[in-house]
Amino acid sequence: MFHVKIGPTPKRRLCTFTVVLLLQTLSCTGQYQVKCPPQPVVAFTGADIIFPCHLIPAIDAASTTVEWTRPDLKPRFVHLWRSGEEILDDQHPSYKGRTSLPTDKLKHGDISLKLSKVKLSDEGTYRCYIPILNIDSTVELVFGSVSSPGINMSKVSDGVLLECKSKGKYLEPEVFWLDAEGNLLSAGPTQTVRGPDDLYTVSSKVTVEKSNSFTCRVQQKNINQTREAHIHVPAELFVVQSSSAVRITISLFVCFMFIGAVVFIMCRVRQIENTNRNEHMTRSQMTYLGNRKKKLEEDLKKKKEQDDVIYMITKLTEQKKNLKDQREKLTTLLQEDKAQMEAIKKNINDGYKMKKDTKMQKAEKTEKDLEERQKKHKELLENTNELQDTTDDLIIKISERKAKIEKDKEQMNKTLKEVEKEREETKKKLELEQSEEERKVLIEVEKETERKLVLLDI
């Protein structure tokens, strides 16, 4: 250790010079370093955070210079400590009054920076630099966040499977499932994958067994940040199947009914959409609006179109159930045919070992008959499968049509309200016009009266 004293230098300046000279001497040996965490410091808006940073080995940093900077700012200084005091002149304006060093720990080599009331603009890379030792280290400030989740829906044997996925930045999100009343649902284990960019991808699955509205809620641990996604599971996905007899001709009949209903629905919708509501309101338009309102009310009362679609959905659902039962029966018959074929072939093979007789010929004939029957059963099973697929497609299309009809009905109600509002506005406008005409007439009468009075005075 070197002690240098020049003239009347104060004792404090002498000590400072001694420490500086010592640090310069030790820095030449390369024994000192600034240690900051390699991983980012995660922050949240409005909170206070600390950038942990230490001199290794620990030495007294109270009398030296400590610079905390952000290279992307101008001026770059976030916090500047020099010769035992804070230097505020060169500090960036956005950090005024929000930074500090642990003055009671500087003598132990703790040069951590405290940043208060963190803002989004504070995100970036911070550099801690000790000029006298020419050593530094950097630490990154990032903000934790969670993205809005997405929900996928698929049909499974025991209900409907819902899958929710979301991503969280730097923090691992938690996933919860809720029903329409806000009750927590029992879901499978949450799967979490952490990517190379420190993004966490979480997914959770739950199986539901009835129609309802469901919510997937994703939130970050330890912060008040939540994202939600909602989905409604329609009742059509939970149709229970039952067994009954079916004929192929029913499907053709239902198909023709479906085509006719679609044509009828399209014509009705086009007729409603072609109504002109943009004409200027006059007295004759009051009659037009009145008739239109009456017609809309009658259409809403009839609901024949919606009843037809519901009837078709019912019939197609019955057909689907019957086709499934028939397919199961045909599958059973094919299995029985196969078993009988194997038995007959075994008898024929045993008969060839003995003498060929009339019984053997009869067995061969039975084998041919079974082959023909098995072929017909296979063809019928293929037709049944094809018809069942067609029925499924029809059910889906008609269900979509039903939803469209309900939407059209809702639009008709909305249009009815608009028509009633237009009628009221037109009525008020006409009343105002009448009042204005009456007022003009009164003014003319008053003017004429005044003119006559003036003449009488003369």
Q: What is the DSSP string of 172-233?
A: -EEEEEE-TT-PBP--PPPEEEE-TTSEEEEEEEEEE-S-EEEEEEEEETTS--EEEEEEEE
> Which of 236, 245, 270 lies closest to 394, judged by CA?
236
CATH of residue 403: 1.10.287
Same domain, 435 and 407: yes
Is 244 among the domain residues?
no
pLDDT for res 323: 74
Query: Per the confidence metrics, is the pTM higher than 0.75?
Result: no
Is 249 among the domain residues?
no
Length of the chain as a residue count: 458
Tokens (6 digits) for 183: 């009750």
Q: How far apart are the first and last CA of the chain?
A: 126
Is 105 among the domain residues?
yes
pLDDT for res 210: 86
Tokens (6 digits) for 306: 């919606």
Same domain, 234 and 283: no
Is 4 among the domain residues?
no
Same domain, 149 and 173: yes
The residue assigned the tokens 């039952």 is 242
Same domain, 314 and 221: no
Domain of 317, in residue numbers = 262-441
Q: Which one-letter amino acid corresponds to residue 225?
A: Q
Running DSSP on this structure, what letter comes out for residue 330? H
pLDDT in tens, the chain (458 residues): 333 333 344 444 444 444 444 444 444 445 789 999 988 888 877 889 999 999 998 888 888 999 999 999 999 999 999 988 999 888 999 999 999 999 999 999 999 999 999 998 999 999 999 999 999 999 999 877 777 788 999 888 878 999 998 877 666 778 899 998 989 888 888 888 887 766 778 889 999 988 889 999 988 765 667 888 999 998 877 764 433 334 455 555 566 566 766 666 766 656 555 444 444 444 555 666 666 666 666 666 555 556 666 777 787 787 777 777 777 877 887 787 778 777 777 776 666 544 455 666 677 777 777 778 777 777 877 877 887 788 788 788 778 877 877 787 777 778 878 877 887 887 777 777 666 766 676 677 667 666 655 555 44
Number of domains in the chain: 3
Is 188 among the domain residues?
yes
CATH of residue 149: 2.60.40.10
Give the relative orientation of helices 304-353 and 358-457 as an angle to the nearest 10 degrees: 170
From 142, 167, 202, the end of a domain falls on 142
* Measured distance CA(122)–CA(125) in Å, rounded: 9
* C-beta of residue 397 within 8 angstroms of C-beta of residue 259: no
Pairing of strands 41-43, 135-143: parallel
Same domain, 76 and 108: yes
The distance of Cα 69 from the centroid of its chain, to the nearest Å, equals 40
